[in-house]
């Protein structure tokens, strides 16, 4: 590539420029920015963009630029000019104020010696200030002591305890280990036996094995799961409303129904038998050719006991794999058995 030697118009330094940039005049960007023609053009462009006006400062007489929104308000070029212009006037106002104050209150500007109430140090202040402490540190010490005296007042403490006890809904119990009387919240009245964890450990009832009560990674047995389920089942559950759940819904929530549904899906390859849909969250297990409701109605006609649900779970025709097919939700609504549709056909 051919290069042309040139001299910079600003700094006079020689530099090489490629053949396709023969009009280049500056060696670098820094020199190009110092170009007086460029600077003048920028000034003209900025002036063209300005929409304000130029005004004369009332303090120093300097001409300064003001934006359009402040054209009527601005009178000074800077804050220092504003202060210089107004300082004599303010001093005159203040002197008049103090003079009138002295006439009304003769002791207004009188200085007196006062002894600090905290450290005993004497200091000079104006009588009108009404100070009692030499510094903020002494004031805070004195006020802190005053607050401590108020807070440690036995009558006040007794009243506060009475108010707190009136709000509490718990009860006081005696610790089984140390015999100390302690407060227990309402929800722990029946379960609490010790005032703290140390008494519980020293009693021997609770053992400190070094492990937490949360068994991380522990796999529960089927027996323990069933035991826990039975503990909150039926009337033992706090949400029990007298057995208002429909029989059909009870059956669909049983583990037997889930196992039967899984077998139907596995047999049909998790695919709709009619349209071939294979989306997992869009599939249903349909009782076919004998519908689900007909099996339940037949069983109800033969058995009229109160505990029909327990007997129905062990009813074999309900869990027959040959009496089932996999359908998508759309096909289930269209081709599945519907009681109202059957009535209309008849």
In angstroms, the CA 74 to CA 54 distance is: 10
Residue 227 lies in a domain: no
Residue 68 lies in a domain: no
Res. 296: pLDDT tops 60: yes
List % helix, strand, coil for the chain (3-state, nearest 5). 50, 15, 40
- Per-residue CA distances from 102 to 148, 259, 332 (Å): 41, 101, 101
What is the model's pLDDT at position 141? Answer: 86
Residue 195: count other Cβ atoms within 10 Å of its Cβ. Answer: 20
What is the model's pLDDT at position 346? Answer: 44
User: What's the structural domain count of the chain?
Assistant: 2
Residue range(s) defining the domain that contains residue 30:
3-49
Average pLDDT over residues 128-137: 84
> Which residue is it, tokens 């023609």?
37
Higher-pLDDT residue of 110, 75: 75
Residue 41 lies in a domain: yes
For residue 167, what is the enclosing H or E element? Answer: helix 154-167
In angstroms, the CA 132 to CA 129 distance is: 9
Q: What does the mean pLDDT of the chain come to?
A: 84
Share of the chain above pLDDT 90, in %: 18
Residue 203 lies in a domain: no
Residue 262 lies in a domain: yes
Residue 19 lies in a domain: yes
Average pLDDT over residues 106-119: 81
Share of the chain above pLDDT 70, in %: 92
What is the model's pLDDT at position 333? Answer: 87
pLDDT class of 117 with cuts at 50, 70, 90: confident
pLDDT in tens, 240-265: 888 888 888 889 989 999 999 999 99
What is the model's pLDDT at position 90? Answer: 83
Residue 29 lies in a domain: yes
What is the model's pLDDT at position 266? Answer: 92
């Amino acid at each position: 590539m051919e290069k042309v030697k040139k001299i910079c118009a600003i700094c006079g330094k020689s530099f090489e420029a490629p053949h396709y940039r023969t009009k280049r005049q500056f060696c670098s960007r820094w020199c190009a920015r110092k170009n007086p023609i460029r600077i003048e053009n920028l000034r003209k462009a900025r002036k063209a963009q300005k929409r304000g006006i130029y005004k004369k400062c009332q303090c120093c007489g300097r001409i300064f630029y003001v934006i359009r929104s402040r054209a009527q308000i601005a009178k000074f070029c800077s804050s220092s000019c504003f202060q210089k212009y107004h300082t004599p006037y303010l001093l005159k106002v203040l002197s008049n104020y103090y003079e009138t104050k002295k006439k009304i209150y003769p002791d207004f500007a009188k200085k007196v010696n006062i002894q600090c109430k905290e450290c005993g140090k004497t200091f000079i202040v104006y009588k009108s200030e009404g100070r009692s402490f030499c510094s903020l540190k002494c004031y805070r010490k004195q006020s802190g002591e005053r607050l401590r005296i108020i807070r440690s007042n036995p009558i006040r403490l007794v009243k506060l305890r009475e108010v707190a006890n009136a709000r509490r809904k718990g009860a006081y119990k005696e610790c089984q280990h140390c015999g100390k009387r302690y407060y227990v919240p309402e929800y722990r009245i029946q379960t609490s036996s010790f005032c703290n964890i140390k008494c519980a450990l020293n009693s021997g009832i609770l053992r400190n094995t070094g492990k937490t009560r949360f068994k991380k990674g522990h796999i529960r047995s089927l027996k323990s799961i069933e035991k826990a389920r039975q503990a909150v089942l039926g009337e033992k559950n706090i949400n029990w409303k007298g057995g208002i759940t429909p029989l059909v819904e009870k059956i669909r929530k049983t583990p037997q129904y889930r196992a039967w549904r899984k077998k139907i899906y596995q047999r049909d390859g998790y695919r709709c038998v009619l349209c071939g849909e294979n989306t997992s969250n869009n599939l249903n297990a349909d009782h076919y050719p004998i519908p689900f409701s007909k099996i339940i109605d037949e069983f109800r006609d033969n058995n009229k006991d109160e505990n029909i649900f327990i007997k129905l779970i062990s009813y074999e025709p309900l869990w027959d794999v040959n009496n089932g097919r996999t359908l998508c939700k759309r096909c289930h609504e269209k081709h599945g058995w519907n009681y109202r549709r059957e009535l209309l056909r008849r």
